[in-house]
Amino acid sequence: MDYRHSHPDHHSRALTRLLHSLPKIDLHRHLEGSLRLSTMAAIAGDCGLELPGAQVEQFRHLVQVVPEDRRHADVFMSKFGTLREFYRSPEAIERVAYEAVADAAADNVVYLELLFTPAALARKMGFALEDVTAWVIGAVERAQADFDIDVRLLVTINRHESVELGEQQVEIAIANRERGVVGVNLAGAENHYSGAPFADVFRRARAAGLHTAIHAGEWAGAESIAEALDVLGAERLGHGVRVLESDRLVAEARARGITFEVCPTSNVQSGVAPSYGAHPLGAMVRAGLRTTINTDAPSVSGIDLTDEYAHAVEEMGLSLADLKQCLLNAAHAAFLPDAERAALVARIRAALSDLPLS
C-alpha cells in the first residue's frame, strides 16, 4: 500500500516482522480513509480532476496528515473533505473499496469491519445512496474472494449531517443485512455536534437486528460517552479514550463489557493525545477495560495495523501479553453470529499460541 510512512527506525525490525505476520483484526477502519495515493492520482487523470500536480508528493498534504499539520480534529477532518473529490464514478468507488480490502489483507488482517459512509461517496456526483452501497458491497465481495480476509460492513452516519440523511442510510443498512452489512456507526464532528438527535435512528437499527458502534470520547469528553451508551445504545465505542475522565463511566463500561476501538495514530494526529507515550491506551488496559487496537483512517494517517501494534508495544507501554489480549478482545467483539465469532476467536487463539507472546 503506497500511503504508509516507513516504519519508524526505532521500531525493531524483528518485532515489526512478528507483528506483521500475526493474523489481525481491525474493527474500526473507514473506507473513506483508505485510499491509495496512486489510485487518487489515477482517478484524477481519468476524470480531469485538478490537483496541484500529478505526482503524489504534490498533493499528499491535501489527503494525508503531514508533519507540518496542526494536531487538531478540524484539520484531520478536512482531509476527508478533499477525499470526497475522488468518488467520481462507479468504477472509482469500486476500485477504492476493492483496494481497501486488498491492503488490509496484505497486512494480514484476517477479519475487518469496514465502515463506509454512503452519503460521503454519493455527494460529489449526486449518486443514489443505494447505488454507491451496491458498488461497495460488490467490490468487497470480490476482494474477499481474492484474498484471505473476512469483511463485514458498517454503514456510517455523520452527526454533523442531517437526521433525515441518517434515517435514509439506516434503511439502506437494513436492506443489505443479507449482504454483509452488520451494523451502523455514528461518526463526524463530535466536538461540535451531539449524537442525541440520532437516538431514534439507532433505535430503529437495533430493532432491525443491526449492531451499533458510536464514535465518542474522542473529540468530546465523558459526557459524550455517557450519551453513546445511555441514549444511543452503543455496543462498542469508537475511540472512547476520554472515558478515564469519569470513574463512574469506567466502572459502567467494565460492568457492561463495552469494547473500546482505540486508534492510536489517529488520536495523536487529531490532538486527542499529545504523543504516543502520553496516550491513555495503557491506562485503559490497566483499568480493566476491554480495549482493541485499530487503524481508523490508514491512508489519512499513513499507517497500517502493524504500525499501530508496534506503537502500542514500543511507545505506549503495552506488554506483548497486553497486545495479545487486545487482539483476543477484538475477536470477542466482532459483530458476527455466535458460531462465527467463536471460530474467529479460536483462529486467533491458535495463532497466538504459536508465538512468543506470553
CB of 50 to Zn ion, least distance (A): 28
Q: Which is nearer to Zn ion, 240 or 282 (CB)?
A: 240
Site residues, Zn ion (CB under 5 A): 296
CB 317 within 8 A of CB 291: no
C-alpha to C-alpha distance for 343 and 36, rounded to whole angstroms: 32
Supply 235's cell numbers. 455496543
CB-wise, 154 or 201, nearer to Zn ion? 154
Report the distance separating Cα 215 and Cα 191, nearest Å: 11
Catalytic residue selected from 218, 235, 261, 308:
218
The residue (of 107 and 296) whose beta carbon lies closer to Zn ion is 296
Rounded alpha-carbon distances, angstroms, from residue 45 to 38, 51, 85, 217, 320 = 11, 9, 13, 39, 45
Is residue 218 annotated as a catalytic residue, yes or no? Answer: yes
Closer of 80 and 324 to Zn ion (Cβ): 80
Q: How far is the CB of 323 from Zn ion (least distance, A)?
A: 21
Closest CB to Zn ion among residues 242, 324: 242
Distance of CA 127 to the CA centre of its chain: 24
Instruction: Answer positive or negative: Cα dihedral of 86, 107, 296, 238.
Output: positive
**Which of 162, 213, 158, 212 shows the shortest CA–CA distance to 189?**
158
CA distance 268 to 275: 6
C-alpha 29/C-alpha 214 separation (Å) is 13
For residue 278, give every residue at least 6 positions away whose Cβ sits within 8 Å of its Cβ, in sequence order, or none: none
- Closer to Zn ion by Cβ: residue 18 or 297: 297
Supply angle C-alpha 175, 177, 178, rounded to 5. Answer: 105
CB of residue 126 vs Zn ion: minimum separation in angstroms?
Answer: 25
Name which of 41 and 186 has its Cβ closer to Zn ion: 186
Shortest separation between residue 238's beta carbon and Zn ion, angstroms: 5
Distances (CA, A) of 274 to 8, 72, 166, 280: 18, 11, 33, 10
Q: How far is the CB of 28 from Zn ion (least distance, A)?
A: 6
Q: What angle do CA 326, 329, 332 make, to 5 degrees?
A: 160
Active site residues: 218
